[in-house]
C-alpha cells in the first residue's frame, strides 16, 4: 500500500499506483497548460475588474456632483462582471491546483526513483536512523536504480512497451502480487553481472 487518497476516496497500492501517478502527472500537465494558455485572458479580465472598480468609484463621485443634464459613465453589465470575475477565479484555481498537484507529483516521482512508496519512505527513514546509531548502513532492497525503478513501476520490459504501456492506456498488471515478488528477469540479470565484477 502506498497511501489512502481522500480525493479519490481509495487506497493507492500495488495494483493502482501507476494509475494514480498517471492521473497526477497528466492533471498537472493539464492545469499548467490551461494556466499558461489563459494568461492573456486572465490579464484582460483582471484589468477589466480594476476598470470596473475605478468606474464604480467615479460613478459615486459623479452622483454626488451630478446635475440633471449630465450623463453617468458607462457601466459593465452583470454578465460582463461575472465573466471577468469567473475568468480570474478559474485562473487562480487552475494555477493553485497545478502548484499543489505538481508538488505531489514530483514527490511521488522521487519516491518511485528510489523504489519506495509513501509508507515505505517513513519506515526506511526510521530504519536508517536505527542502523546509523549502531554504525551500520541501510540499503533499500527494492531500489534497483532510478531507470530500473521506473521501468519496473511502469511495467516496461522491452523498448516497445514505452509506447504500448506508458503513452497509451494499458491494463497490464504490475510485477508480483504486492506482498511478495521476485524482481523482473532483466533486473536480476543486471544485478548478477554487477555483483560478479
pLDDT grade, residue 157 (50/70/90)? Answer: confident
Q: Which residues on neighbouring strands pair with residue 177, listed in sequence order?
A: none
Q: Parallel, antiparallel, or unpaired for β 3-5 and 10-12?
A: antiparallel
Report field, pTM of the whole predicted structure over 0.85: no
Other CB atoms closer than 10 Å to residue 42's CB: what's the count? 18
Selecting among 5, 11, 34, 146, the annotated active-site residue is: 5
Domain containing 110 equals: 3-195
- Alpha carbon distance 65, 55 (integer Å): 15
Residue 88 CA, chain-centre distance (Å), reads 22
- Alpha carbon distance 63, 53 (integer Å): 15
Can you give the length of the chain in residues? 197
- Alpha carbon distance 119, 76 (integer Å): 54
| Local structure of 120: helix, strand or coil | helix
* Residue 10 DSSP symbol: E
**Residue 192, pLDDT score:** 45
Counting the structural domains of the chain, the total is: 1
Establish whether 5 is a catalytic residue: yes
| Local structure of 11: helix, strand or coil | strand
List the grid coordinates of 21: 501517478
Say if residue 101 is exposed, middle or buried (CB neighbours under 10 Å; 0-12, 13-18, 19+): buried
Asked if pLDDT for residue 28 goes beyond 90, the answer is: yes
**Residue 182, pLDDT score:** 74
Q: Which of 13-17, 66-70, 90-94 has the lowest mean pLDDT?
A: 66-70
**Residue 109, pLDDT score:** 96
pLDDT grade, residue 193 (50/70/90)? Answer: very low
For the chain, report the end-to-end CA distance as a whole number of angstroms.
35
Asked if pLDDT for residue 119 goes beyond 60, the answer is: yes
**Residue 63, pLDDT score:** 57
Asked if pLDDT for residue 74 goes beyond 70, the answer is: no
- Alpha carbon distance 166, 22 (integer Å): 9
Amino acid at each position: 500500500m502506498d497511501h489512502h487518497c481522500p480525493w479519490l476516496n481509495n487506497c493507492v497500492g500495488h495494483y493502482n499506483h501507476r494509475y494514480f501517478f498517471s492521473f497526477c502527472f497528466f492533471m498537472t500537465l493539464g492545469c499548467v497548460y490551461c494556466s499558461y494558455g489563459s494568461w492573456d485572458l486572465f490579464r484582460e479580465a483582471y484589468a477589466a475588474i480594476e476598470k470596473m472598480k475605478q468606474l464604480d468609484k467615479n460613478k459615486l463621485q459623479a452622483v454626488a456632483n451630478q446635475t440633471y443634464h449630465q450623463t453617468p459613465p458607462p457601466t459593465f453589465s452583470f454578465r460582463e462582471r461575472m465573466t471577468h470575475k469567473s475568468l480570474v477565479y478559474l485562473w487562480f484555481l487552475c494555477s493553485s491546483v497545478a502548484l499543489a498537484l505538481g508538488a505531489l507529483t514530483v514527490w511521488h516521482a522521487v519516491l518511485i526513483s528510489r523504489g519506495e512508496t509513501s509508507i515505505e519512505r517513513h519506515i526506511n527513514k526510521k530504519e536508517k536512523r536505527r542502523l546509523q546509531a549502531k554504525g551500520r548502513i541501510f540499503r533499500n532492497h527494492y531500489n534497483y536504480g532510478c531507470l530500473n525503478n521506473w521501468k519496473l513501476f511502469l511495467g516496461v520490459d522491452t523498448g516497445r512497451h514505452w509506447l504500448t504501456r506508458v503513452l497509451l492506456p494499458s491494463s497490464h498488471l504490475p510485477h508480483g502480487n504486492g506482498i511478495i515478488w521476485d524482481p523482473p528477469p532483466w533486473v536480476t540479470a543486471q544485478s548478477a553481472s554487477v555483483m560478479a565484477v
